[in-house]
Structure 1
């Protein structure tokens, strides 16, 4: 579906692919961002847009000579990875529970971490630059090393899926763990302090920013890129472990060659060229969808997910949604749904069936089919996946 330009009294337009009217708080958040003087051309809202911190989750913001740490978010580099395997559904018969148990044993979830950093984690080249990160994380190197190869909590997950051809896929969702969170909080706090000190007017304190060319901007940009690289490598380490487990059960432990591999951020910022100008492009809950880019758009733990290829839509800054998007808060979901609801909505999925994941129940999320229908001009669907195993944080 084409976008709708919201009727807002702001200098920069807001283009929305949501396909429905935004709530009053969402409209105000969109206005706040689009009113900032350094915002470039327009703000783009993806089909899964919903409330966030400072900026809406599902928003794409191009800026000139400034960047907003809270708009990037605290899970820097959060994103998805997926691998298409040479295996088929029939090979999974009777093995799903064993695969889930092996995943849970090999990959720490929630607040857990590896007891010791393995070789893949210890040898990551990013450690060479750790000493140059914000002083607020100077004592976190050991923890960061042990958390490489761990999932985290919330909406992070590991799934074994089948596509419409009954081909087996591996998919996971995670970010930069505690180290990314602490780095983000340090810089968000610095930006807010700077705004107070300089008496800079902001429609929302969480829109405090750094100006390009200043030492504080350079420090944040350096740490941001480091955390994004950490997040991507974290997904790589988990996928290596995940692949070994699948090969153990389906190939007798023999290594196999992936048929397709995708690894993409959806909470991050990069320098990009749009409409002929270099900008700082922040995707807060959005995936890069330049022409021929592969991306991943997951549904909830009981719904379909999609491997997509970008169409390079310029109006969206070559972006697409990062998932279905929540339609209710975690607190509301826990109040509204019961364990029986969870059992019903996750039928056919080998996963935990307890109240500890009630806030992640499929009913708390928007319809992924509706979200996909709203972005036919942004991406084409390469594969439609349905999970058969799901491990939550």
Structure 2
């Protein structure tokens, strides 16, 4: 049974998977503005975690023909999740996980500020580890030099942030599934590199549109687009793809270092061969409703038939490993998480430290005012979000965290 509601707009329809959780009027207006763009294909899909976002609605899937909107992709290009199941069981974990959390925090740079820990500086590496330096050289350096040769303003931290977490809603977790098997799960993206690429091309698109006479009304300057066939479009696709590949590699490197840190505190274990590594802020070419289009998933995960994905809740409510059902109406997509119900500013005002402490009881994690904007109460009910998308994904595992690292 399909679970979406259909809404008319001045352009293509909206198809929304409603979790019956709070949904801002501003987010609906953003969706309507996107739907009015003449190059949007078929309809705009809104996932059950939908909420207002900078540039475009978080939890939206937008298919476009011969154009792309850099602000819809956003500045955290390639942000996503990775999860690995291990042979460890809960009874093989140490009674207290504080030392494990400290080991992980030493292994992976986090946050945005200068750290006094080991080799970390400003959310990256003071001296890049050899394995990370080799990956950078083998897979990224030549591509990055080519991009910089044409767009030197993009220069900044790159290789020294590869293998780092960042801050905000990025995290690392040790979790247990329904069989008490241990998983390692993490959330990160393309770091400062993707931020610079996104910001640069968003402004470039705005400048390019300002010099054109459009035959339609652009309701929001953030929806400035790049037309396929233009030099700027080609340059953006090259840089965006670089950031997406960087993000995928960033998660791989983080995972390797987290598993190494865990091994220092537990008996020997194996990992399953199939790791899940999926973007939820990105654009790619796909075929939908008879045409090749650009699909932008801003806070959404690809959920084609049999494809595995990760839908996290919050730092106190657990997460889901899912298998896609290939629902064409959602452009083969699902939610990327629970979705925020409070802005960061609201959360810091409304959630007390005692509230947060109670919400994360039993989890080895930060309990301080610096993470109140990531407390479970700041997010929608993940159970309601999952119930709203049973036509998009099937649940394969429910995970509950026992350890959480935040930036």
Aligned counterparts, 1:67-146, within 5 A: 67-111=68-112, 112-124=123-135, 125-134=139-148, 135-137=151-153, 139-140=155-156, 143-146=157-160
2:266 aligned with 1:250:
yes
2:228 aligned with 1:212:
yes
User: Could you list the runs of 5+ residues in structure 1 that have no partner in the other structure?
Assistant: none
1:74-102 Cα shifts (integer Å, max 9, x gaps) = 00000000000000000113241111000
Q: For 2:85 and 2:363, how far apart are their aligned partners in 1?
A: 19
- Report if the CA contact (8 A) 1:149-1:238 is conserved: yes
Q: Secondary structure at the match of 2:296?
A: strand
Q: For 2:219 and 2:132, how far apart are their aligned partners in 1?
A: 41
TM-score normalised by L of structure 2: 0.93
Aligned counterparts, 1:127-206, within 5 A: 127-134=141-148, 135-137=151-153, 139-140=155-156, 143-200=157-214, 201-206=217-222
Q: For 2:19 and 2:97, how far apart are their aligned partners in 1?
A: 38
- Report if the CA contact (8 A) 2:188-2:251 is conserved: yes
Deviation for aligned residue 1:245? 1.4
Q: For 2:23 and 2:108, how far apart are their aligned partners in 1?
A: 38
Deviation for aligned residue 1:118? 1.5
RMSD of Structure 2 on Structure 1 (CA): 1.4
Q: Which deviates more, 91-100 or 282-291?
A: 91-100
Q: For 1:204 and 1:255, how far apart are their aligned partners in 2?
A: 52
User: Could you list the runs of 5+ residues in structure 2 that have no partner in the other structure?
Assistant: 113-122
Q: Secondary structure at the match of 1:133?
A: helix
Cα 1:57–1:138 change in 2 (3 A) is: closer
Q: Secondary structure at the match of 2:105?
A: helix
Provide the residue aligned with 2:276 in structure 1: 262
- Report if the CA contact (8 A) 1:61-1:281 is conserved: yes
1:248-277 Cα shifts (integer Å, max 9, x gaps) = 2223xx573325410000000000111221
- Report if the CA contact (8 A) 1:38-1:63 is conserved: yes
Aligned residues: 389
Q: Secondary structure at the match of 1:2?
A: coil
Aligned counterparts, 1:210-359, within 5 A: 210-251=226-267, 254=268, 256-258=270-272, 260-359=274-373
TM-score normalised by L of structure 1: 0.96
